[in-house]
Amino acid sequence: MELTELRDKIKSSFVGSEEDLETVLAMVEQDRAVFPFNQYEHLICTLINIGGLNYEQYIEIRTEYVSANPNLWIFEISAPRGFGESFAQTYVQGKCSKLKKPNKKIDPNYVGQYDFSAETSE
């Protein structure tokens, strides 16, 4: 689900007046949203506050969005090395199973200087 689809889903779930919705949308557009306080959480919180969206609708929208975007957890990885180890290594290893994560057992001199070693047949 694209973010434009998410916004449309939130708007279509609103049960208040068109005027209230337009007022909220204009307010959200004027806001200087910054992560993690983005325009979507502002829109949802404001619509819940004025009674045009309830918590159950929010959970339904959230569940649908998370299901449609299963890799969102990647954005929660804050450190570059964490990203590399948590996502990239697993992804690359899935593409080429001959690559192995190095360790002292494979290479007694290993101290983190490389990410993979190639499996060799000896």
Per-domain boundaries in the chain: 3-70, 79-118
| 85: DSSP letter | I
Give me the percent of the chain exceeding a pLDDT of 90.
Answer: 18
Contacts of residue 43, Cβ cutoff 8 Å, sequence gap at least 6 = 7, 10, 24, 25, 28
Per-residue pLDDT tens digits of the chain, which is 122 residues long: 788 888 888 899 889 899 999 998 898 888 877 766 788 888 999 999 999 999 999 999 989 988 988 877 777 666 666 666 667 777 777 788 788 778 788 888 888 777 777 765 55
